Amino acid sequence: MTSQKARSGLNRHAKKILSFLEERKSSLSPLLILTHDYPDPDAIASAVALQHLAQEGFAIQSRVVYGGIIGRTENRAMVQILRLPVHRLKPSDLKRYANVVLVDTQPEFENNSFPKNRKAAIVIDQHPPLTKPSAELTIIDEECGATCAILARALLLTGRVIPVRVATALAYGILSDTLNLYRAPDGHVVDTYLDLLPFCDMRALAKIQNPKRSRRFFSTLAKGIQNAMVMRGLIVSHLGQIENPDLTAQVADFLLTYQGANFSFCTGRYNGRLQVSLRAARAKMEVAPVLRDIFANRGEAGGHGGIAGGSFDVGAEDQESIWNEIEKLLTQSLCGRLRIPKRFEFVYPFRAKA
């Protein structure tokens, strides 16, 4: 796909959103904008951009909510520095709002708090669907690089000035989901990012990307390195108990930079659930199907390109041996899925030799 065609596709999706909001207007208000649980910058930026677009362009009132927590240090810094109006989801929210938009997720996915028996007003996402999403308007672009690129293009098409905090959030959302544009599938994502820059606060963007980190973060990173084991281009690390679920993704991203690593696989235990992240060095390698194949429930895993993640319930009360066995079995299943011959064994490259 050429950059021009890709950008045309992005514009087409953006125009569909604008047309739908224009057609529905007051009938959508008030609107609940829901991200996936434990939202990342892409989800957060998509939500606040849609909120601004709906309010300023079509007088649609809305509230942005998320399940879980905002755990990763950079993500919290993004919300705090830019003062983004995002809120923890309350059970009453889903009862109060007749119209719900899902961004960076889909009704059929297990990573959000949307009731499976409800129909969404809008779904905007970049991930491959498990089934056709239940929504009045569905926008899924697996080539967009970041969901927030779709919303950024919609805002840019209006020709209006984009507020600094919204533009900066969108820029960081694109950077974080494309590894600073390294994983950008085509030039259209870079074009969208560059179009946003005149509206951004670059100093705030730098602060978000380089936040102060806690001692626990460095302890977890050290544990991830110490526990890392390597075999035939696969690097694996089991973190044990973690302070927030985003740490598995953060450590997986870091370990993927190890020379010779083609895949990185990381797990962590959080609130009785095993959090799992899988990464591939090649951006065009689709690893979501790989991760789904080693999960008992395929709906509990997802991703796009070389990024995949998921979680499933184990039970906080279960013994250490049970957790260890599950982590071992997942690793063995992954090795089988990646067709790594059983004759090879893991080595621990970062442990001091006796």
Rounded Cα distance, 294 and 288, in Å: 10
Q: Are 307 and 300 in contact (CB under 8 A)?
A: no
Rounded Cα distance, 237 and 257, in Å: 14
pLDDT tens for the chain, 354 residues: list them. Answer: 444 544 567 899 999 999 999 999 989 999 999 999 999 999 999 999 999 999 999 999 999 999 999 989 999 999 999 999 999 999 999 999 999 999 999 999 989 999 988 999 999 999 989 899 999 999 999 888 899 999 999 999 999 999 999 999 999 999 998 878 877 776 788 999 999 999 999 999 999 999 999 899 999 999 999 999 999 999 999 999 999 999 999 999 999 999 999 999 999 999 999 999 999 998 678 899 999 999 999 889 988 888 899 999 998 777 899 999 999 999 999 999 999 998 899 999 998 775
- Among 137, 71, 107, residue whose Cα is nearest residue 302: 107
- Among 178, 162, 44, residue whose Cα is nearest residue 103: 44
Ordered structural domains, the chain, with CATH = 3-209 (3.90.1640.10), 217-337 (3.10.310.30)
At residue 168, the pLDDT reads 98
Rounded Cα distance, 317 and 315, in Å: 5
At residue 1, the pLDDT reads 40
Report long-range pairs for 48-51 (Cβ below 8 Å, ≥24 apart).
48/84, 48/85, 48/86, 48/165, 48/166, 48/169, 49/148, 49/151, 49/152, 49/154, 49/155, 49/166, 49/169, 49/170, 50/101, 50/103, 50/124, 50/151, 51/85
Rounded Cα distance, 275 and 239, in Å: 10
Rounded Cα distance, 158 and 8, in Å: 16
At residue 92, the pLDDT reads 95
Secondary structure element (H or E) that encloses residue 43, with its range: helix 41-58
pTM score: 0.87
Q: How long, in residues, is the chain?
A: 354
